[in-house]
Amino acid sequence: MVADIVKRYKALSSDCVVILWLALWWVANLLTAGMSELANDEAYYHIFAQNLAWGYFDHPPMTALLVWLGESLFGGELGVRFFFVLLQPLYLYMFWRVIRPESASRADAELYVMISAAMLVLQLYGLVAVPDGPLLFFTAMFLLTFKRFTAGGRWAWLTMGLSLGLLALSKYHGALVLLFALAANVGWFLRNSRKIASLMLSGVVALAVIVPHLWWQYNHDWVSFAYHLSDRNGNFAISNITDFLVNMLVVFSPFYLPLWVQSFRKVKSSTPIERVLKLYPPAFIIFFTASSFRGYVQPQWAIVAVYGLIWILFAYARNHARTRRYVMRAGWWTLCLIMLVRLVLMFNPIGIKFEVFHNKESYGKIAEVAAGRPVIFDSQYAIASKYIFYTGGEAYSQPNISHRTSQWQYRDDDTRFVGRDVIVEVNPARYSAEEAQRRVKCIKKANGYDMHYVEVADFHPVRKVEIQSDLQLPEEVSRGDKFNFSLTINNPYPYDIEVDGQQYMLQMAWGWRKQQYHFYPLESGFVVPAGGTKVVECNFVVPEELDNQPYKVGFVLHHRDMYTWLNDKGQRTTLK
């Protein structure tokens, strides 16, 4: 029987060998995906899928659509991940068709699959439900159609435009896929100027695909672009740069590191698609290294570089027997390590405490304490999402100006909690020792993270209150500067809001990016009528305690137990 299987295997074509090994890889991914718990972001995208739209706060809509489709077929973690797992063998086979030699042998097919499987970044992002899966899928689709386009395919411009549009609906980094492809072939397009018109047609097709998403962005003040281009930036830290570069050495298989350098030196690019693939690794890594000067850069942002790395190592190793032997041996050792990691993900035999473990117990404990009451988490967009996924309970993630905002700001869960008893996650450091001991309670979760909370009866949110100010701060201010201004407070809720400085308070907030904000009380002792407006005259003196630095300054109206976010758009100034 074994001899017959070996005989049949040896009779397979190179394409069939690739399909066979990718199918086995897919089965392993299905098992791991269905038997391991969700990461934080996956639960967040599950919340996306509950309300399909053409856009979301921090992502285009493709991820939500794929999660929704999967959950329409299956429950649990497998439902969230199913279509992301399905995409991987498809995009790896498409990419095989991109780089497949005309005289490809079974050994070439095995080499290709081994190099791909040894890529740690592909092992992870073939499992989890995150935007990088569709990004890789539609990048492979673009590369295949770009190859046909530059080879003279008659209708390739149409499929290339479609792939670009779907790429844009998957992840905004997809724009770099096109830009670097064009940069690698400027000379080719100049020599083949007739292709420029077809390229423009591809752009028209891509634009037609993404128009609904752009319309959503327009109606939401271009929130995603503002967030990615400005709001998520942090302060410079050398660790951001070093962490990113170290991550690059790890996620693209550290065992192959010396070979990347040798392959890049030796492999020549002679066609438009080869020039693209050779440019991708340095272009993506350099681009995101530069981005790390402005804040933390996640290693998977450069994931498209994996295509170029696979190609140059494949092209080099297939013509060098000694290198090929090393690639295959190192690949098997890598797969053995990956198998151990998968077993840990599924069974956690050593009791690791991390976001993909102990979710059912941890959130079940919160649900037990909540006893049917809604839970309001402190800006924990993923934690609130996990609570909903693993318990089916009601939850909301209250935006907090000291943390990143999220899709939760567009959900009205908290409005549905009006008049009900809720439990609210709090930071005990915000309370005096006596009050903390009297009111703040603690839940010790199985995942090792404690949750401190208070109980709030007859909950009435004020998150949607809008504040308009006639204050125009100059570009620079100094300590002791005095400002007189009026605030127009609009209450959209069907109940009065009594700003007494005790339960509800009006404050001015000074902070910068991810640092903790300083809050300064303003006027109190007034009522903002239900559905009405209140104009409040305020005075403020710039405090001595503030440091010399840039600030974002805004106004907040909040319940004493609720973390705050700006009720106005804020403005920027610098303290000198």
Per domain, the residue ranges of the chain are 11-130, 134-220, 365-456, 466-575
**What is the pLDDT at residue 219?**
94
pLDDT at 11: 85
Rounded to the nearest 10 degrees, the angle between the axes of helix 174-183 and helix 156-168 is 140
| Residue 244, both tokens | 């990113």
Distances (CA, A) of 387 to 38, 65, 314, 380: 11, 21, 44, 11
State the Cα–Cα distance between residues 254 and 491, nearest whole angstrom.
57
Strand runs (DSSP E) across 401-528, as ranges?
422-425, 441-444, 450-456, 466-469, 476-477, 482-490, 497-499, 504-511, 518-521, 526-528
Cα R_g (the chain), whole angstroms:
27
* pLDDT tens across the length of the chain (576 residues): 777 877 888 888 999 999 999 999 999 999 999 999 999 999 999 999 999 999 999 999 999 999 999 999 999 999 999 999 999 999 999 999 999 999 899 999 999 999 999 999 999 999 999 999 999 999 999 999 999 999 988 899 999 999 999 999 999 989 999 999 999 999 999 999 999 999 999 999 999 999 999 999 999 989 898 887 776 666 778 988 999 889 888 889 889 988 998 999 999 999 999 999 999 999 999 999 999 988 888 999 999 999 999 999 999 999 999 999 999 999 999 999 999 999 999 999 888 888 899 999 999 999 999 999 999 998 888 999 999 999 999 999 988 887 778 899 899 899 999 999 999 999 888 888 888 889 999 999 998 889 999 999 999 999 999 999 999 999 999 999 999 999 999 999 999 999 999 999 999 999 887 677 899 999 999 999 999 999 999 999 999 999 999 999 999 999 988 877 889 989 999 998
Question: Most distant CA pair in the chain: distance in Å?
Answer: 89
Buried b (16+ CB within 10 A) or exposed e, 378-409: bbbbbbbbbbbbbbebbbbbbbbbbeebbbbe
Pairing verdict, β 518-521 and 476-477 = unpaired
Output the pLDDT for position 5: 79
CATH tag for 466-575 (out of 3.90.700.10, 1.10.490.20, 2.60.40.3880, 2.40.160.20): 2.60.40.3880
Q: End-to-end distance of the chain based on CA atoms, in angstroms?
A: 82
Distance CA 545, CA 421 (A): 38
Helix (H, G, I), strand (E, B) or coil at 79: helix
The pLDDT assigned to 403 comes to 78
Ramachandran angles phi, psi of 499, nearest 5°: -90, 100
pLDDT at 504: 94
